Chain A
Amino acid sequence: MYRRALTALQKFTLRLDVAINRVYPTDLNPLYYTGGLTNLFLFILVVSGIFIFFYYVPSLFEGHASIVYLTEQVPYGGLIRGIHRYSADAFIVAAVLHLLRNWFTDRYLFSRDSPWISGMFMLLLGGFIGATGYILVWDERALAVLGVFDGLLRSIPIVGRAFAELVIGGEGLGEATLPRILLLHVGPASALYVLLWWHYVRLRHPKIWPPATWVLVNLGVVTLLAALIPAVSGTPATPGARPGAMPLDVFFLLPFWLAGLMPPLLVVLLVAGLFVLGFVIPYVNRESDPEMGVRHAGVAQVIDGNCTGCELCYYDCPYNAIVMVPSPHPGLSRAAASRKLLAVVLDSRCVECGICIGACPFEALELPGMLESEITRAATEAVGVAGAGRA
């Protein structure tokens, strides 16, 4: 079931690409840059967030007023607040698209589990950062969100109460609350960059930024949205009062909407369950080994005698799976006789793509399941078949 569904979704994703590539040059297909777009929105969030940070006062009595002051009195303050809001939404959309695309197109197999797992952490943190951002505004909605959040935490057995008091800063609302929430908004946002290091560490030349065109377009769209539909605060939070109707942001406040439908512990379990399920995905292959065929031809092997230590494979490997070590002994071929370095493939990082084989002009690398001799023989035979096939 899972496999069939995933295959169907992969087909859908790649057909969508074909359609999009009819419109854009393929280099500009926005779906090829979902990761870069996420990073772009994160960057916009950090820059606009620093601006907002200069004006924000984390206090029960001044929190709301300081945001209103920023929006109404500070030049471009409202615009930057809007940019912060809309790029946060765009961040989550791009991150989810990034997750789905990489899931549907099998980009999580073999050593690519480490970007996947760091990505799951970043998604969870991203949602958390967004929710705390809504609390910081300190209007009616903020109070409602904080109430639900408190309820969710308290529903966890044994440790729940401690967690809740840690977040709220004491038994109930107090002067410690908003500074805590501000810390929980900014701290995890900084942690995102640590996780990004983990996200990129196994990748050589990761695509970190989208093409300039898309940077400008997205910057423009976010700014335009912020100008046309300004982000505004609701009435100030008055603890104890019943909050009226308020808009719920679908991108961040989904768990809070769910909390109105089911018991809080169930919501916590649902979020935790999805998070844990995410960790299982990279270890469940959509295809069996025979179905993978040439894409599962074994970890690349260095032919010691032929390696000249020229580093070409080292520069081309997209996963940093090849390291150059001081050569323990001279190679056998004439070109390799006076080498200083030897290429070594780290099995745990190899994804069996064979790019090092194409990089090596000295026949010093092989995929065990697809040897050079087999390819050249197949090519020679194919010339014969092609000759027989012509009219």
Chain B
Amino acid sequence: MTGAMPAQGDRAPRVIGFVCDWAVGTSAITDGDGRLRAHPSVVLIRVPCSGFIRPGWLEDTLKAGADGVFVVGCPYGDCLNREGNYLMRERMDQLQRRLQRRKVDPSRLAMLAHGMHDEAAFLAEVAALLNRLRQLGPPPAPRTSAPRLAGPTTAPQAVPAEEGGA
């Protein structure tokens, strides 16, 4: 676990993207670590549905030192589960408003919607997001010095074993 690295102003922004497995196909545009080939400072994590994302995870990822996070769902109207991307869009709006009160710029969070074979449009949106983040500069220092993620990820590691048995 690398932990949070101090953000430098002139470096490329670190961005984590959660990608629905039915949304934009990433096998052709990422390397083995999940980094986008075109933008190596963007790392993608695949999830079953965009609605699977708990907004708290996005918040925690920002606290862990990411400059921005985004979620990619299927085009609106075409969620495999009918509602996952609409639900995530609402949750994203709520999270943006909540974080804005804590002086986190809403444009650090983005909800994208691209179909499985729509890589070009997806990459264009990511590039635009990176530009916005560059202009924003590094994120404000978190209130607590230690990112919250570093704690909980080590503490409840016993949990998976218990639940695996259940």
- Physical interaction between A and B: yes
Q: In the complex, which residues of chain A have a beta carbon less than 8 angstroms from the beta carbon of B51? A: 316, 353-355, 358-359
> Is A383 a contact of B117 with CB atoms below 8 Å?
no
Residues of B within 8 Å of A301, CB to CB, are 163, 166
Q: Across the interface, do B48 and A353 meet the contact criterion of CB distance under 8 Å? A: yes
Interface residues of A in 212-268 (CB under 8 A from B): none
B126 near A: Cβ within 8 Å? Answer: no
B110 beta carbon closer than 8 Å to chain A: no
Could you tell me if B66 and A294 are in contact, using CB atoms closer than 8 angstroms? Answer: no
Q: Which residues of A contact B42 (CB under 8 A)?
A: 386, 389
User: Binding site of A, secondary structure by majority: helix, strand, loop or mixed?
Assistant: helix
A293 within 8 Å of B (CB atoms): yes
Residue pair A387, B53 in contact (C-beta under 8 Å): no
Q: Complex Cα distance A382/B56, Å?
A: 16
Produce 1/0 per residue, A14-27, CB < 8 A to B: 11011001000011
In the bound complex, what is the Cα–Cα distance between A203 and B127 (angstroms)? 37
B21 and A295 within 8 A (CB): yes
Residues of B within 8 A of A319 (CB): 81
Q: Are B153 and A29 in contact (CB under 8 A)?
A: no
- Contact: A382 with B34, CB < 8 Å? yes
Contact: A21 with B52, CB < 8 Å?
no
Chain A residues 175 to 205 lying within 8 A of chain B, measured CB to CB, are: 203-205
Query: Could you say which residues of chain A place their CB within 8 Å of the CB of B49?
Result: 353-355
Contact A18 B21 (CB under 8 A): no
* Minimal Cβ-Cβ distance residue in A for B53: A358
The answer to whether B84 touches A355, judged by C-beta atoms less than 8 angstroms apart, is yes
What A residues does B65 contact at CB under 8 A?
A: 383, 387
Select from chain B the residue with minimum beta-carbon distance to A316: B87
- Tell whether, in the assembled complex, residue A386 and residue B43 are in contact, meaning their CB atoms are under 8 Å apart: yes
Is the Cβ of A26 less than 8 Å from the Cβ of B78? yes
B22 / chain A contacts, CB cutoff of 8 Å: 295
The chain A residue with its CB closest to the CB of B84 is A355
Q: What 1/0 mask marks residues of chain A from 335 to 371 whose CB sits below 8 Å from any chain B CB?
A: 0000000000000000111110111110000111011
Tell me, rounded to whole Å, the shortest Cβ–Cβ distance linking A68 to chain B: 44
Question: A207: CB under 8 A from chain B?
Answer: yes
CA distance A30 to B103 in the complex (A): 41
* B63-79 Cβ-contact flags toward A at 8 Å (1 or 0): 01110000000011110
Tell which of B4, B81, B88 touches A383, judged by Cβ atoms closer than 8 Å: B4
Tell me whether B149 is interfacial, beta carbon within 8 Å.
yes
Complex Cα distance A384/B117, Å? 28
Q: Determine if B43 and A385 form an interchain contact, defined as CB atoms under 8 angstroms apart.
A: yes
CB–CB A294/B82 < 8 A: no
Report 28 cross-chain contacts, Cβ distance below 8 Å, ordered by A residue: A11-B117, A14-B117, A17-B78, A18-B115, A206-B82, A207-B82, A295-B48, A301-B163, A353-B51, A353-B81, A358-B55, A358-B91, A370-B52, A371-B160, A373-B152, A375-B45, A377-B153, A379-B45, A380-B3, A382-B16, A383-B4, A383-B43, A384-B2, A384-B3, A384-B5, A386-B41, A387-B2, A387-B41
With A351-B81, A368-B164, A388-B2 given, name 13 new contacts (CB 8 A). A107-B80, A293-B46, A354-B48, A354-B51, A355-B49, A359-B87, A379-B149, A380-B3, A382-B34, A382-B45, A383-B61, A389-B35, A389-B41
